[in-house]
Structure 1
Amino acid sequence: MAAVALIQGASRGLGLQFCKHILATKAQVTVVATCRHPEAAPHLRELSAQHPGTVTVLKVDVTREQDIRDAAETVKSTFGKLDLLINCSAMLHPSGKGETSLRDVSAQAVLATLSTNAVGPLVMARYFSPLLVKGSGGFGRQPQDQCQQHSGILVNMTARVGSIGDNGLGGWYSYRMSKAALNMTTKNLSIELGRGRPKIVCVSLHPGTVNTELSKPYHKNVPKDKLFSAQYSVQCLMNIIDSLSIEETGKAFAWDGSELSW
């Protein structure tokens, strides 16, 4: 049976590139691509037209639980399983720029950022983990020991600024808080979803600073060799995903494979 990968937040940037990369490099794979407004996602529609029967586009706003529940029911009835879930949707701040001081903080903005970046992926896990349990191990590395083999893989896209141990500059309250919360979500999920058999691998991945709309306001401060294309970042991240086993569950890794401190 073909492997099934769901990319949440697939209309542009990293999410769209994950779809393209998986379709180009994996044989017998089906991609489920979700975004808030499929009708306003021309690149995703084009990709779907290029791969008829292989790409399924679903409407999912991660701040709306009903959208997530409906999408999970569709994937269940259509495919019956899920091998890979990548949560890509993220916002820096409703204004598009991170807070530089307490004067910039508002409760509404913090809650909006947390809702998209941390709560959304948690609710995705709540509805899609039963399908990941039924995954056939189409992604990652399977050890010989059957007790250590995994079914599906759940990936949350984090950021280095979400590391408490690595925070030496401060600022960006909403974004830092949301990614720190997301890291805790990943750790919690790895414990609960690693208890049974088969087990689900849960990791946080940091893509580096990628040339996307989210990071655009800060490109001038990034050295050229540290501003990655989406293609390069996804290639690095997929190399990590393809090497994952249950031994890596509950950890956070940067694009270069180095482990990040919490």
Structure 2
Amino acid sequence: MQPWALVTPASRGIGLEFARRLLQYTNIPVVATARRDLDQTREHVLTGLADVQEDRLHVLRVDMLDEESISSAASEAAKLFPKKEAYLHLSLCLPGLLFPEKSPTQINYDDALLTFRTNTLGPMMLLKHFSPFLPRKSTKLAEAEDTVGLPGQAVWATMSARVGSISDNQLGGWYSYRASKAAVNQVTKTFDNYLRTSAGEKAMSISLHPGTVKTGLSEEFWSNVKEGKLFTAEFAAEKLMEVVNSRTVGDRGRCWDWKGEEVPP
């Protein structure tokens, strides 16, 4: 069986660096997604990767706010990787949107709705349409030499955040973002319960906290970050890939930070 990976979105930031790392340090095909400018995304992912087989990269259109685009991308993936011949070994689901409400009076209904649609419902729709590509209990996983640089079992990883932790919430604020990421962690656990039944130990679900990364999402807060705690997207992708690859089935259903430490629920 041919393993493959999904990185969505991959047009910039951590997703872009994840796609580049997978092409550099593994041998499997990579499906990267972007909302628009697919050719530009392909160019950005491949820039400087002289030794990479370009036909390993497939760029598909996915808009997290448009279920039809997710369904269409899944249909295209099914043509590229028929389920009788291939399975999804790694899915990195990475959407993120933040409106920093410091007090309840700053909560805007439309902004809050957009936050949930992007951060929570987008990943849920990806689960709906792409989870059937994950292995089942009966699936014969690829040999170790074919999954170098990858976790030992299939992993569905969704981007969360430390501020999604309820027990760790000491500061308040960021109502919509906190709530949407707490919901991501609930979806992660619920989906992992499903995988326990459908895939056994051949697939699991986790969520990830990357730290504060120098992307557009956190730009407003860069000046408040302690020295040495503002990471490049390349560093974040490297550390999170190490975390994903070192998880075992005993770590399933939980949220892990870039250091490999659990973020409490």
Verify same fold: TM over 0.5.
yes
Matched, 1:230 2:233: yes
Shift of 1:174: 1.0
2:151–2:247: 8 Å Cα contact kept in structure 1? yes
The unaligned stretches of length 5 or more in structure 2 are: none
RMSD of aligned Cα (Å): 1.7
Shift of 1:46: 3.8
Shift of 1:22: 1.1
Cα distance change of structure 1 residues 155 and 220 upon mapping to structure 2, 3 Å threshold: same
Shift of 1:3: 2.9
**1:208 aligned to 206, 211, 214, which one?**
211
Shift of 1:43: 4.7
2:263 counterpart SS class: coil
> Which residue number in structure 1 is paired with residue 260 of structure 2?
257
> Which residue number in structure 1 is paired with residue 244 of structure 2?
241
Shift of 1:185: 0.4
Choose 197-206 or 168-177, whichever is displaced more.
Answer: 197-206
> Which residue number in structure 1 is paired with residue 92 of structure 2?
86
Q: How many residues align?
A: 247
Q: Which amino acid aligns with 2:101?
A: E
1:8–1:88: 8 Å Cα contact kept in structure 2? yes
> Which residue number in structure 1 is paired with residue 40 of structure 2?
42
1:89 counterpart SS class: coil
1:58–1:71: 8 Å Cα contact kept in structure 2? yes
Q: Take 1:92 and 1:190, find their aligned partners in 2: how far apart are those partners?
A: 26
2:261 counterpart SS class: coil
The unaligned stretches of length 5 or more in structure 1 are: 142-149
Matched, 1:21 2:21: yes
Q: Take 1:213 and 1:250, find their aligned partners in 2: how far apart are those partners?
A: 28
Cα distance change of structure 1 residues 32 and 196 upon mapping to structure 2, 3 Å threshold: same
Q: Take 2:108 and 2:264, find their aligned partners in 1: how far apart are those partners?
A: 28
Shift of 1:2: 4.7
Shift of 1:84: 0.8
Shift of 1:45: 2.6
Q: Which amino acid aligns with 2:188?
A: T
Q: Which amino acid aligns with 1:178?
A: S
Q: Take 2:3 and 2:14, find their aligned partners in 1: how far apart are those partners?
A: 20
Q: Take 2:93 and 2:243, find their aligned partners in 1: how far apart are those partners?
A: 16
1:69–1:127: 8 Å Cα contact kept in structure 2? yes
Q: Which amino acid aligns with 1:82?
A: L
Give the alignment of 1:176-215 within 5 angstroms.
176-198=178-200, 199-215=202-218
Q: Take 2:34 and 2:4, find their aligned partners in 1: how far apart are those partners?
A: 17
Instruction: Please list the CA deviations of residues 35-77 of structure 1 after superposition, one character each: whole Å capped at 9, or x if unmatched.
Output: 11134x7353343576421111000001111111111111111
**1:63 aligned to 62, 65, 82, which one?**
65
> Which residue number in structure 2 is paired with residue 140 of structure 1?
151
TM-score calculated relative to the size of structure 1: 0.89
1:194 counterpart SS class: helix
Give the alignment of 1:126-165 within 5 angstroms.
126-133=128-135, 136=141, 138=147, 139-141=150-152, 150=153, 152-165=154-167
2:102–2:174: 8 Å Cα contact kept in structure 1? yes
